[in-house]
Homo-oligomer: A and B are copies of this chain.
């Protein structure tokens, strides 16, 4: 705690002054363009990663960057609704990461015996677990974990689409969803690419151009 308190004093002496104008402006109201959903993991810093100043990212963080589907209630549905319907964000990013402890818990439930609330929470990633089990029996170790992180981002995007405020904006075509994975040890970001059905390094992805309503076309055969 003493370290944190010193940090705050340092912030107040050094960092606040150059940002003072911005903060005074922001005190009148925020209007972020992006909702950034990521894990609570201490090794991820969304504003450092994107080099964004205060005011740009509305940030939702929990263990495993999980979004329960509509009906579960809870902080995720509320925070997303506030961002989408209240603040009118234009993009939602779900950003998983390498070495995620929650994903390890999905693969090895025995780790969770003393953490029943975590185990219950991961029921929102039951699809991730079942996808891995039925489709990736050939993988193990780091490669299995990496694939789990990726599949979980896709699963949580499916869950996200069931939230009414999101569904209504997707039908309108003015909200875009993005699936990312951040690799802690290299600083790389991988984004899901629809054409290749893979996560590609962010630079290799085409920038998003089509309206979201396009996706509705392609839900079904």
Which residues does A use to contact B, with CB under 8 Å? 1-5, 7-12, 15-16, 20, 23-24, 26-27, 29-30, 32, 34, 40-45, 47-52, 54-63, 66, 68-83, 85-86, 91, 93, 98-99, 101-102, 114-118, 120-124, 126-127, 129-131, 133-135, 151, 154-155, 157-159, 161-165, 167-169, 171-172, 176-179, 184-189, 192, 194-197, 202-203, 207-210, 212-221
Contact = CB atoms under 8 A, between A and B. Distances in A.
Q: How many copies does the complex hold?
A: 6
Q: 9 tightest A-B contacts by CB?
A: A78-B121, A218-B218, A69-B69, A62-B75, A208-B221, A7-B51, A127-B167, A16-B187, A27-B185
A203 B48 contact: no
B7 A118 contact: no
A207 B2 CA distance: 8
Contacts of A135: 168, 171-172
A62 to B, nearest CB: 4
B52 A78 contact: no
B215 A220 contact: yes
Given A127-B70, A219-B154, A61 B63 contact: no
Contacts of A127: 70, 162-164, 167-168
Given A131-B171, A184-B26, A219-B158, A44 B40 contact: no
